[in-house]
């Protein structure tokens, strides 16, 4: 019985840790620039040169698109991104982030329980 409990706890811990790793890969979804402006969510932009930029949100003023970014010592700054040749825009998907926090909590809980069982010799 103790061996079965040990296998079960290790399997659940491995499963939850694996979920954490894969969950972090899907927290951003591809959208158009107009959709990113409308949602006002955190965005990642990839250019043709392979550079990646992250902004708190995108805004449009007088037909020019700006990326809002927090810069140390300056606060929130609007940076003109109209000169960038953008090939991909992804915005943050909060559902995936919330799920990551939820799954992380249970992964840490199972790891803690496993360690406690090992210390107390319960398996």
pLDDT digits (tens, 9 = 90+) for 66-87: 999 999 888 999 998 888 888 8
**47 in the same domain as 32:** yes
Structural domain count, the chain:
2
> Where are the strands (E) in 1-123, listed by range?
28-31, 43-47, 52-55, 57-61, 64-71, 75-80, 86-92
**86 in the same domain as 34:** yes
More confident call, 108 vs 55:
55
Decide if pLDDT at 94 tops 70. no
**99 in the same domain as 64:** no
What pLDDT is stored for residue 87 in this prediction?
84
- The Cα angle at residue 26 between residues 108 and 51, in degrees rounded to 5: 115
Q: What is the pTM of this model?
A: 0.55
Domain range spanning residue 84?
28-92
């Amino acid at each position: 019985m103790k061996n079965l409990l040990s296998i079960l706890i290790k399997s659940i811990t491995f499963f939850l840790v694996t979920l954490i790793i894969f969950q972090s890969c899907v927290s951003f979804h591809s959208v158009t620039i107009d959709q990113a402006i409308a949602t006002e969510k955190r965005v990642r932009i990839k250019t043709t040169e392979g550079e990646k930029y992250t902004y708190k949100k995108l805004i449009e003023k007088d037909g020019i698109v700006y990326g809002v970014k927090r810069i140390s010592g300056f606060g929130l700054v609007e940076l003109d991104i109209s000169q960038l040749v953008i090939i991909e825009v992804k915005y943050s998907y909060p559902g995936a982030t919330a799920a990551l926090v939820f799954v992380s909590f249970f992964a840490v809980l199972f790891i803690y329980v496993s360690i406690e069982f090992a210390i107390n010799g319960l398996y």
